[in-house]
Amino acid sequence: MAGFGTNDIKGREKEDEGDKNSNTLESHVVIRTEGEEVGQSSSERDTIHRSGSRPQLDLSKAAIQGNFEERDPAILLPNQSDDLSHLALDIGGSLIKLVYFSRHEGQSIDDKRKKTLKERLGISNGSRRSYPILGGRLHFVKFETNKINECLDFIYSKQLHRGGMDARIWNPDAPTNESSVVKATGGGAYKFADLFKERLGVSLDKEDEMNCLVSGANFLLKAIRHEAFTHMEGQKEFVQIDQNELFPYLLVNIGSGVSIIKVDGDGKFQRVSGTNVGGGTYWGLGKLLTKCKSFDELLELSQRGDNGAIDMLVGDIYGGMDYSKIGLSASTIASSFGKAISENKELEDYSPEDISLSLLRMISYNIGQIAYLNALRFGLKRIYFGGFFIRGHAYTMDTISFAVQFWSNGDAQAMFLRHEGFLGALGAFMSYEKHGLDDLMVHHLVERFPMGAPYTGGKIHGPPLGDLNEKISWMEKFVRKGTEITAPVPMAPPGTTGLGGFEVPSSKGGTLRSDASALNIGVLHLVPTLELFPLLADPKTYEPNTIDLSDHGELEYWFTVLSEHLPDLVDKAVASEGGTDDAKRRGDAFAHAFSAHLARLMEEPAAYGKLGLVNLLELREECLREFQFVDVYRSIKQRENEASLAVLPDLLMELDSMSEEARLLTLIEGVLAANIFDWGSRACMDLYHKGTIIEIYRMSRNKMQRPWRVDDFDVFKERMLGSGDKKPCPHKRALLFVDNSGADVILGMLPLARELLRRGTEVVLVANSLPALNDATATELPEIVAEAAKHCDILRRAAEAGGLLVDAMVSSLDGSNGNSSSVPLMVVENGCGSPCIDLRQVSSELAAAAKEADLVILEGMGRALHTNLNAKFKCDALKLAMVKNQRLAQKLIQGNIYDCVCRYEPVS
């Protein structure tokens, strides 16, 4: 449909009138679940959501209460917290790497509704793992080895040596275990054992370094989706690792020295070679030759260098010509530092920049070459490079990649790891028994990039700041200091010439992002309750994002959309927390944090792994949560729900007076029309100033004209109603992924759900676990359904059967009580708090509900267009959305804003 003219819409006063007339939800609330927001003080709500992502999935309290019959493992065994280890170390020649685990208080809403639901879905008992996976977070921190005292202070301040602060949060009476044991690897585990004992009273349990490197690498390659990447000529590309073809591979760890390991499987490896010319050589020699004070300074110098001033090039020997017969260009380095012998110059006559670059190239190239030769020795094609020498530095990676590519004629591939320097520490962490990490799968891990590490220059450790005040004041300091965070990472292509030579890197004068602000690895959230959505036709090829943000134009467009939305979002966020000074400070901090993330990603889109809209939109919500904005759109949602519930009875009556066929069309039309209530869309927000909810809804419905831009309604209708005399059998169970609040869910999806129920199909409403924009959450839905059920027998009976109406439930219309024989209407949480959905990581509840489902209905722009438009399912799928963005409409459906998509994909 075309745009909405102002003529269509009446003045704003109407809305207020409508508000006065409508019943408020609060006055009708019947069920109130534990932990529910209604009526809670904001501080109570904070506690519930403070833990950030997906707390509902983490049923820690249930486990704490000792109900070992429950399947949900989440965070478990608080009383055994002494057995659970929280810290592992890799103490190397140059750096100390720490991996530590923190548990966070999850929200458990184990109410009656959930219990009934679990019974229905058959997930109440049995199949507990023998070793529960822990729910919590893995943090990565590093220190310089020569500043070991800083490291000891850090461990002490976080009490990590005592099993962590968390242990006492769970069990305040837990004795502090003075003789605790911490897993450690690297030479320092021996060298500093006494110091750890003396200062912290802990014994270091030494683990073999190679073993740790390998198990760390294997864990990363198996459990993290976007861990490994190639880096050629400035281009970073993530590689999808086929788990069946993971082994064998060559692992090259470039620390102070270099270890080269052939890996054949878990625990199956051989250190086949190594070289003493490694990261320590670059840093050591570089320090002597340039007087640099830090590794980063040295690396930064290299970016402004011209190694041709020191290196003897092929051209220098051949009078400026290539030696093309053997494939060497004039710019190929014939002899690193070779020029220094023929010139009558002293060290001071060479620039530190040139020296640093010569050194970097010499060492990187040499390691690349030795790595390749070893790969050749064993016929290996995949070479993974780790170790902190790499430091995510584009030029280093390009040089190594070039060497491998050049010498192997393209046969072997150099790949790098995002957690490059933490392999050993992760391996040491893995060596604890009983942590259950071996069972972890890709879908159990969510990586988050919190703001608030101390980015102050110089310090290389960057523990995330847990305390909100600390975070905000850091953010304020940062804002005063300037743009340290957003300073560009030098990513300029190195200008490789081919033929074994390199031109001088073209990036000039850029400062290297300080190590602590590199922010390219986040905190790994372990969420054991996440699962792969079982109805995906082919999980291996599934890609949630529809739009490819590696297209720079797209990236820029969506970044602009998000930036422009920010001021309004901050206003709403601050208002949602009462507009207090504290809320304003948090609002400011949020705006800066989110802008900094955007700026970071704009410079280096792949910094946080492969980037898509699903990540960007979730990042925004996560960032709000980080600054404790619990539910920004709460009052908007409530107002829209109230207005919509008030007109629901009329709508249901209207529907009931129609023929089956007309009704089905009206229902689908209703869903599409009501999808206009989206507070994430700029165009829609502008629209809301022009009319009341009900007016906009009516107008939207009046404008629904078929054919829609994508219109598979007739095929869907045939599947639902049959044709001629043939009545098809109804679907057994439909999953309805709902979107937005108010009209969208109440006047759109609920009536559709009711129709399915009427036809004997069980309905599962799938809603967000956490708030995102104005999306209804799974905790809000039962109340909404309860209200709707007051006006509708079908909904009431189904809701009762699905356990949605509990205790002193609505006084039923027909006076009957108790369980009816109706097919059930259920509500499950989807496991996320974003306007989009990545079906590789959904709640276990949803995964269980999906097993019996034969129809999936995805609704809304976020879940059906930005993500999943191209997703294929093992069952029938209906994708419904109104496109509320002009550019997207053009791109996806060659249409216009407010056009509609009704895509039906029957299982073949």
Ligand X SMILES: Nc1ncnc2c1ncn2[C@@H]1O[C@H](COP(=O)(O)OP(=O)(O)O)[C@@H](O)[C@H]1O
* Tokens (6 digits) for 90: 């890799």
Burial track 526-547 (b if 16+ CB lie within 10 A, e otherwise): bbbbbbbbbbbeeeeebbbbbb
Minimal CB distance to ligand PAZ: which residue? 680
Q: Is 528 in the site for ligand X (CB under 6 A)?
A: no
Provide, rounded to whole angstroms, the least separation between the CB of residue 594 and ligand PAZ: 14
Q: Which of residues 615 and 740 has its CB atom nearest to Mn ion in the complex? A: 740
Provide, rounded to whole angstroms, the least separation between the CB of residue 187 and ligand X: 8
Q: Is 388 in the site for ligand X (CB under 6 A)?
A: yes
Provide, rounded to whole angstroms, the least separation between the CB of residue 217 and ligand PAZ: 37
Q: Which of residues 596 and 767 has its CB atom nearest to Mn ion in the complex? A: 767
Phi, psi dihedral angles at 245 (to 5 degrees): -120, 25
Q: Is 618 in the site for Mn ion (CB under 5 A)?
A: no
Q: Is 739 in the site for Mn ion (CB under 5 A)?
A: yes
- Please list every residue from 101 through 160 that binds ligand X, using CB under 6 A: 144
Q: Is 860 in the site for ligand PAZ (CB under 6 A)?
A: yes
Q: Which of residues 751 and 862 has its CB atom nearest to ligand PAZ in the complex? A: 862
HSE of 784, CA atoms in CB hemisphere, 13 A: 34
SS3 36: coil
Q: How far apart are CA 827 and CA 392, in angstroms?
A: 44
Selected from 180, 675, 700, 844, the binder of ligand PAZ by CB under 6 A is: 675
Selected from 35, 52, 73, 280, the binder of ligand X by CB under 6 A is: 280
* Residue 885, binding choice from ligand PAZ, Mn ion, ligand X, none, Cβ under 5 to 8 Å by partner class: ligand PAZ
Q: Is 561 in the site for ligand PAZ (CB under 6 A)?
A: yes
Q: Is 891 in the site for ligand PAZ (CB under 6 A)?
A: no
Helix (H) or strand (E) holding 828: strand 825-829
- Please list every residue from 774 through 803 that binds Mn ion, using CB under 5 A: 775
For 566-628, give the DSSP string. Answer: HHHHHHHHHHHTTT-HHHHHHHHHHHHHHHHHHHHHHH-TTBTBS--HHHHHHHHHHHHHHTT
Q: Which of residues 98 and 472 has its CB atom nearest to ligand X in the complex? A: 98
Query: Are the C-beta atoms of residues 677 and 742 closer than 8 Å to each other?
Result: yes
Q: Which segment (204-212, 362-370, 596-604, 740-748) binds Mn ion by CB under 5 A? A: 740-748
Q: How far apart are CA 902 and CA 771, in angstroms?
A: 26
* Tokens (6 digits) for 52: 């950030």
The alpha carbons of the chain give a radius of gyration, in whole angstroms, of 30
Burial track 613-624 (b if 16+ CB lie within 10 A, e otherwise): bbbbbbbbbbbb
Per-residue contact track with ligand PAZ, 720 to 749, x per CB under 6 A? -------------------xx---------
Residue carrying structure tokens 């590490």: 453
Selected from 683, 715, 721, 907, the binder of ligand PAZ by CB under 6 A is: 683
Q: Which segment (44-52, 87-95, 152-160, 862-870) binds ligand X by CB under 6 A? A: 87-95
3-state secondary structure 610-627: CCCHHHHHHHHHHHHHHC
Q: Which segment (90-98, 125-133, 193-201, 308-316) binds ligand X by CB under 6 A? A: 90-98
Q: Is 866 in the site for ligand PAZ (CB under 6 A)?
A: yes
Q: Which segment (6-14, 582-590, 640-648, 856-864) binds ligand PAZ by CB under 6 A? A: 856-864
SS3 98: strand
Q: Is 713 in the site for ligand X (CB under 6 A)?
A: no
Q: Which of residues 136 and 680 has its CB atom nearest to ligand PAZ in the complex? A: 680
- In a 10 Å sphere around its CB, with 0-12 CB exposed, 13-18 middle and 19+ buried, how is residue 705 labelled? exposed
Selected from 583, 617, 699, 871, the binder of ligand PAZ by CB under 6 A is: 617
Selected from 837, 885, 900, 905, the binder of ligand PAZ by CB under 6 A is: 885
Q: Is 669 in the site for ligand X (CB under 6 A)?
A: no
Q: Name residue 335's beta-bridge partners.
A: 312
For 208-275, give the DSSP string. Answer: -HHHHHHHHHHHHHHH-TT-EEEEETTEEEE----GGG--SEEEEEESSSEEEEEEEETTEEEEEEEE
SS3 141: strand
Q: Is 196 in the site for ligand X (CB under 6 A)?
A: no
Q: Which of residues 121 and 367 has its CB atom nearest to ligand X in the complex? A: 367
- Please list every residue from 356 through 395 that binds ligand PAZ, using CB under 6 A: none
Q: Is 835 in the site for ligand PAZ (CB under 6 A)?
A: yes
* Tokens (6 digits) for 21: 């007339």
Binding site for ligand PAZ (CB under 6 A): 561, 617, 675, 678, 680-683, 739-740, 773, 835, 860-863, 866, 884-885
Binding site for ligand X (CB under 6 A): 92-95, 144, 186, 255-256, 279-280, 282-283, 295, 387-389, 391, 421, 460, 515
Binding site for Mn ion (CB under 5 A): 739-740, 775, 835, 860
